[in-house]
Amino acid sequence: MIPNQIRKVLSLIAQHRVRALLMGGQACIFYGAAEFSRDIDFAILASEENLTQLRACLDELEAEVIAVPPFLQEYLEKGHAIHFRCATPEAAGFCIDVMTKLRGVDTFEKLWERRNTLVTETGAEYHLMSLPDLVDAKKTQRDKDWPMIRRLVEADYFACRDKPASAQVGFWLSELRTVELLVEVANDHPQAAQAHVKLRPLLKFAIIGDTDRLEEGLAEEERSIRELDRKYWKPLKEELEQLRLNRNRT
């Protein structure tokens, strides 16, 4: 059951033909890794036409920008998220965040090609970021994202491990964060595991069953990615702070 507020937002996104991909906590729910969220996040195409269609959708939701930056294409293309709060009775107080550029994630055009589309009982189509792309988008410095990555990949593994496609095996080897399951996949698919060692060196510990060193490798991998995310966001956060100061002076 999709909550009414989310259904309202998704239906208007579809009605206005906005090219947007559901991501964040709401997408995690669709993929079977529930996450409580008070807002809804989209990756969007930052073209003039698409942003015009998005504005029409937001107007119908009576959504206004909260905080900074303002709703301008230049900030989306830099990698900022733009935050809105809805006032229409059907979605009052509900927040919408939109982004175009995400660290470590492909361009929107490529994300759109790989999207998953859900069709509701009424025929409405909801477009979701693909699971591998959603996992990449979740690789941030935020503490809450790493347990969610683990749950997302585990949910896919437990649902499909009996008859996996080769691409799924590669996804699990690349993204699983559970020591026991990585060892299990490496044992069940030894050729694929060997082939992926160059892409993810810590897999050599999964292959030989060295769980202690595998756990250390996973921890180091997470620290490295968190640091990359901190460096990526540092100039963006500085720009946001300057925007806040400028707004307070006016």
CATH of the domain at 117: 3.30.460.40
Assess if residue 248 is contained within a domain: no
Of the candidates 33, 82, 30, 81, the residue with the CA atom closest to the CA atom of residue 58: 82
- Is the pLDDT confidence value at 84 over 90? yes
**247 confidence band (pLDDT: 50, 70, 90):** confident
Question: Do 120 and 208 belong together in one domain?
Answer: no
Question: Do 120 and 92 belong together in one domain?
Answer: yes
Question: Do 29 and 90 belong together in one domain?
Answer: yes
Question: Do 36 and 128 belong together in one domain?
Answer: yes
- Is the pLDDT confidence value at 97 over 90? yes
Assess if residue 244 is contained within a domain: no
Assess if residue 53 is contained within a domain: yes
Domain tally for the chain? 2
pLDDT at 173: 98
CA 81 – CA 142 distance, rounded (Å): 15
Question: Do 129 and 9 belong together in one domain?
Answer: yes
Q: Which residue has the tokens 């995400």?
A: 102
Assess if residue 250 is contained within a domain: no
- Is the pLDDT confidence value at 36 over 80? no
Give pTM, 2 decimals.
0.94
- Is the pLDDT confidence value at 89 over 60? yes
Looking at per-residue pLDDT, the higher value among 30 and 200 belongs to 200
Which of 33-47, 167-181, 204-218 is predicted least confidently? 33-47
**132 confidence band (pLDDT: 50, 70, 90):** very high
Question: Do 150 and 132 belong together in one domain?
Answer: no
C-alpha torsion angle, residues 7, 11, 13, 17 (rounded to 10): 160
Question: Do 201 and 110 belong together in one domain?
Answer: no
Domain of 128?
4-136
Question: Do 97 and 212 belong together in one domain?
Answer: no
**35 confidence band (pLDDT: 50, 70, 90):** low
**121 confidence band (pLDDT: 50, 70, 90):** confident
Dump pLDDT digits (tens) for 179-225. Answer: 999 999 999 999 999 999 999 999 999 999 999 999 999 999 999 99
* Last residue of one domain, picked from the residues 136, 171, 206: 136
Q: Are strands 39-44 and 95-99 parallel, antiparallel or unpaired?
A: parallel
pLDDT at 33: 81
Question: Do 127 and 151 belong together in one domain?
Answer: no
Assess if residue 249 is contained within a domain: no
Question: Do 100 and 59 belong together in one domain?
Answer: yes
Question: Do 23 and 128 belong together in one domain?
Answer: yes
Best-predicted range by mean pLDDT (10-14, 35-39, 41-45): 41-45
Assess if residue 240 is contained within a domain: no
* Last residue of one domain, picked from the residues 136, 163, 188: 136
Question: Do 42 and 22 belong together in one domain?
Answer: yes
pLDDT at 2: 64
